[in-house]
Amino acid sequence: MSTDEAAFGPRIKVGADRSIAAQHIGNAYTGDVVLPAEALQAAERVTAAPGTSNLPPAPLCPGRQEELTWLRRTLTDQREGAITQSGTVHGLGGIGKSTLALHYAHRHRGDYTLIWWINATSPDEIETSLASLTQTLVPGWAATAGRGTQVAWARQWLA
Ligand SMILES: Nc1ncnc2c1ncn2[C@@H]1O[C@H](COP(=O)(O)OP(=O)(O)O)[C@@H](O)[C@H]1O
Ligand SMILES: [Mg+2]
């Protein structure tokens, strides 16, 4: 990491592989849950109601108009017919990455069916956010499933 990052703010990387986020989650996920067949099928059939979101409110410090525009372009850029679906904002801690992502998500929330904020402070927090996604999408089934199964279901659904 360089001091340039502190001087110029968050940088955004384009990810060509749309499973990047899931791969990161996979690294943090330590359980070895096997989902029952009916749960696997449900993960493919279940669609989120438009507007489904757990987005926390954005703090009152937008600015960063250029970065927001850049992020938008990065996430909607079309190459060879494929839409880029992932992007990474990176830079020093405290530089405003999370805040930028939060403002982006609020600004464009109408463009997405579901927006889910996953707290990646620790593997445990990631699992809590994923389990909460399952509890929102399939509340009845989630009530009968353990936490590890809920996490596995959310990963399956996202995949
Ligand atoms: N554009 C901005 N203007 C003013 N303060 C900001 C801005 N972006 C972030 N902050 C503040 O800076 C602090 C760190 O921001 P945060 O997004 O958590 O950084 P990071 O995710 O890069 O560690 C927070 O208190 C946040 O409210
Ligand atoms: Mg952050």
What is the count of structural domains for the chain? 1
Whether pLDDT at 30 is above 60 = no
Q: Is residue 57 within 6 Å of ligand 1 at its C-beta?
A: no
pLDDT at 127: 96
β-pairing, 78-79 vs 82-83, is: antiparallel
| Cα 149 from Cα 79, distance rounded (Å) | 36
pLDDT at 80: 61
Whether pLDDT at 14 is above 50 = no
Q: Which amino acid is at 12?
A: I
| Cα 111 from Cα 51, distance rounded (Å) | 9
Atom of ligand 1 minimally distant from the CA of 62: 1
pLDDT at 9: 52
Angle formed by the axes of helices 20-28 and 123-137, to 10°?
Answer: 120
What percent of the chain lies above the pLDDT cut of 70? 74
Atom of ligand 1 minimally distant from the CA of 99: 17
Determine the average pLDDT of the residues in 7-23: 44
Pick the ligand that lies closest to the CA of residue 97: 1
pLDDT at 114: 94
pLDDT at 85: 66
pLDDT at 7: 42
Whether pLDDT at 109 is above 80 = yes
Q: Which amino acid is at 9?
A: G
Tell me which residue of 147, 157, 145, 158 sits closest to 30, measured CA to CA.
Answer: 147
| Cα 100 from Cα 91, distance rounded (Å) | 12
Q: Is residue 59 within 6 Å of ligand 1 at its C-beta?
A: yes
**Token duo for residue 151:** 């996490």
Q: Does residue 44 contact residue 92 with C-beta atoms inside 8 Å?
A: no
Beta strands in the chain (DSSP E): 11-15, 52-53, 78-79, 82-83, 86-90, 114-115
**pLDDT per position as a tens digit, 1-11:** 333 344 445 55
**pLDDT per position as a tens digit, 47-106:** 999 999 999 998 877 688 999 999 998 888 776 655 556 778 889 999 999 999 999 999
Q: Which residue minimizes the CA distance to atom 17 of ligand 1?
A: 96
Query: Ligand 1 center to residue 53 CA distance, Å?
Result: 22
- The dihedral over CA atoms of 70, 99, 27, 40, expressed in degrees to the nearest 10, equals -90
Mean pLDDT, all residues of the chain: 79
**Token duo for residue 104:** 């982006």
What percent of the chain lies above the pLDDT cut of 90? 53
Domain range for residue 44?
3-158
Angle at 132 between CA 128 and CA 135, to 5 degrees: 140
Atom of ligand 1 minimally distant from the CA of 59: 27
Pick the ligand that lies closest to the CA of residue 121: 2
